[in-house]
């Protein structure tokens, strides 16, 4: 017998559970790819490129299901499919299996992307949504911190165990949601008004109209593109860089899964602390001030990432990696706030955020293979290239800042 749970309560449970399961997997996922599957730097980046391409292609078709049929159904399908993908990834330690798994779980993710936020707004109303998102973020951070020790403990038994366990738990989560998730506020869009082709054409028209009115949007979208261009190399190669280019202290005592659990845990804590400091000190309503801060942040990220690639001392490299992590954690919500301030038409707000995300994904798809090819010769060189790929955002932020007032 189905028993529905209060929508806000379930949203908070889902925020915690999603973050817990993702970080149960991702804390040791890269270690598994490097030490067990023994992927080359090029293969590591190609895996990420496949994932990004899958999510880019899948976003609109899966969004149709969420809007036409059911948000709940889309979310349930998403977690079940993601679970299958992660089980495949952890069960078969071969490149082809890892690549196929990215397609499967990436497609599953697109069923939940957007549908979860739309569902909770439908259920509790737009007025209460901001508070729900804030509390959901807090629960997600808690889920991340709680999951890391479990990931390490399972990884000490078998490196792939956290990945398989996380996948299995995602399937159980899908079943739990199917039985308990309410959907009283959903009003389906008639299928004849929501076709994939129609959505894509409308997105193009709306985006073109806004950009025509506000040319600065092109600059902001270019920043999103370069953000994706540099990030794939860093995200996919930093673990291999640490394992292959440094003599990690006490490696015979603390296994790689323990080391990377500690690194991830401190990275999360550093990001939380940095975000809180910036939240207290920066006026996020000042668009010019945000552009200036983001330009400084990007410059520091370029320098810290290049340093992480080139320094020879393990502890200095680790400190620089944490600096990069804190800078990225702070930059993401501030860029979102800055981008949002430049959109003068609420009717195209979601469209422009979608376009920005797609520009970032295109950057990752374009930049990933090139950086991976460099990484096959030298991971240090690949990370330096990644830093250089971010550097064009500095003059772009400068140009945006000089514009001064909102166009």
Residue 48 · residue 67 · CB < 8 Å: no
> Taking 50 as the threshold, does the pLDDT of residue 253 lie above it?
yes
> Taking 80 as the threshold, does the pLDDT of residue 349 lie above it?
no
Lowest-pLDDT range of 143-157, 238-252, 291-305: 238-252
User: What pLDDT, on the 0 to 100 scale, is given for residue 111?
Assistant: 87
What is the per-residue pLDDT across 176-210, written as a single tens digit (0 to 9) for each?
999 999 888 777 665 555 555 565 556 556 656 66
User: What pLDDT, on the 0 to 100 scale, is given for residue 406?
Assistant: 46
What dihedral angle (degrees, nearest 10) is formed by the CA atoms of 40, 44, 47, 52? -150
> Taking 70 as the threshold, does the pLDDT of residue 23 lie above it?
yes
Lowest-pLDDT range of 13-22, 39-48, 359-368: 359-368
Q: Among residues of the chain, what percentage have pLDDT more than 90?
A: 39
> Taking 60 as the threshold, does the pLDDT of residue 345 lie above it?
no
User: What pLDDT, on the 0 to 100 scale, is given for residue 400?
Assistant: 82
Domains in the chain: boundaries: 1-181, 202-407
Of 314, 278, 311, which Cα lies nearest the Cα of 296?
278
Across the chain, what does the average pLDDT equal? 84
Question: 1-181 in CATH: which number?
Answer: 1.20.1250.20
Long-range contacts at 283-289 (CB < 8 A, ≥ 24 apart): 284/334, 284/337, 285/341, 287/338, 287/341, 287/342, 287/406, 288/401, 288/404
Lowest-pLDDT range of 36-45, 86-95, 362-371: 362-371
Q: Which residue has the higher pLDDT, 334 or 13?
A: 13
> Taking 90 as the threshold, does the pLDDT of residue 304 lie above it?
yes
Other CB atoms within 10 A of residue 1 CB: 3
User: What pLDDT, on the 0 to 100 scale, is given for residue 138?
Assistant: 75
User: What pLDDT, on the 0 to 100 scale, is given for residue 120?
Assistant: 82
What is the per-residue pLDDT across 256-291, written as a single tens digit (0 to 9) for each?
888 888 888 888 888 888 877 887 788 777 878 888
Q: Among residues of the chain, what percentage have pLDDT more than 70?
A: 84
113: which DSSP letter? T
CATH 1.20.1250.20 fits 202-407, yes or no: yes
Rounded Cα–Cα distance for residues 36 and 24 (Å) = 17
What is the per-residue pLDDT across 28-83, written as a single tens digit (0 to 9) for each?
998 999 989 999 999 999 998 899 888 888 776 766 676 677 888 989 999 999 99
> Taking 50 as the threshold, does the pLDDT of residue 407 lie above it?
no
Give the contacts of 150 (CB within 8 A, at least 6 positions apart). 24, 162
Is the overall model pTM greater than 0.75, yes or no? yes
> Taking 80 as the threshold, does the pLDDT of residue 221 lie above it?
yes
User: What pLDDT, on the 0 to 100 scale, is given for residue 351?
Assistant: 58
288 CB burial (10 A radius; 0-12, 13-18, 19+): middle
Q: Which residue has the higher pLDDT, 124 or 388?
A: 388
Q: Which residue has the higher pLDDT, 218 or 68?
A: 218
User: What pLDDT, on the 0 to 100 scale, is given for residue 264?
Assistant: 85
User: What pLDDT, on the 0 to 100 scale, is given for residue 171?
Assistant: 97
User: What pLDDT, on the 0 to 100 scale, is given for residue 348?
Assistant: 55
- Do 1-181 and 202-407 have matching folds? yes
């Amino acid at each position: 017998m189905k028993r529905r749970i209060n929508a806000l309560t379930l949203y908070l449970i889902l925020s915690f559970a999603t973050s817990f399961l993702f970080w149960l997997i991702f804390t040791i996922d890269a270690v598994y790819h490097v030490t067990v599957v023994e992927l080359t730097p090029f293969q590591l980046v190609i895996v990420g490129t496949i994932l990004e391409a899958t999510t880019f292609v899948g976003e609109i078709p899966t969004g149709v299901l969420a809007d036409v049929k059911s948000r709940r159904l889309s979310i349930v399908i998403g977690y079940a499919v993601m679970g299958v993908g992660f089980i495949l990834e952890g069960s078969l330690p071969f490149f082809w299996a890892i690549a196929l798994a990215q397609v499967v779980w990436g497609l599953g993710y697109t069923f939940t992307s957007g549908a979860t936020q739309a569902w909770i707004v439908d259920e509790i109303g737009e007025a209460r949504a901001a508070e729900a998102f804030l509390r959901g973020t807090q629960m997600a951070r808690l889920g991340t911190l709680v999951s890391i020790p479990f990931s390490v403990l399972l990884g000490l038994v078998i490196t792939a165990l956290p990945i398989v366990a996380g996948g299995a738990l995602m399937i159980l989560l899908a079943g739990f949601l199917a039985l308990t998730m309410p959907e009283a506020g959903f009003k389906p869009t008639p299928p004849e008004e929501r076709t994939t082709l129609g959505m894509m054409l409308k997105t193009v028209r709306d985006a073109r109209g806004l950009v025509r009115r506000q040319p600065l949007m092109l600059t902001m979208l270019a920043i999103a593109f370069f953000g994706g261009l540099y990030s794939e190399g860093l995200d996919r190669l930093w673990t291999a860089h640490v394992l292959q280019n440094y003599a990690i202290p006490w490696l015979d005592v603390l296994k790689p899964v323990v080391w990377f659990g500690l690194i991830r845990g401190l990275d999360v804590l550093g990001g939380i602390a940095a975000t809180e400091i910036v939240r207290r000190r920066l006026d996020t309503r000042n668009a010019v001030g945000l552009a200036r801060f983001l330009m400084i942040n990007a410059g520091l990220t370029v320098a810290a990432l290049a340093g992480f690639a080139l320094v020879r001392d393990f502890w200095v490299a680790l400190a620089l990696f944490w600096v990069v992590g804190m800078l990225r954690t702070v930059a993401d919500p501030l860029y979102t706030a800055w981008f949002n301030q430049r959109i003068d038409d609420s009717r195209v707000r979601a469209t422009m955020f979608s376009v920005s995300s797609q520009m970032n994904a295109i950057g990752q798809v374009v930049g990933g293979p090139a950086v991976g090819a460099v990484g096959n010769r030298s991971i240090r060189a690949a990370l330096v290239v990644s830093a250089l790929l971010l550097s064009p955002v500095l003059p772009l932020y400068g140009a945006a800042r000089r514009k001064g007032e909102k166009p």
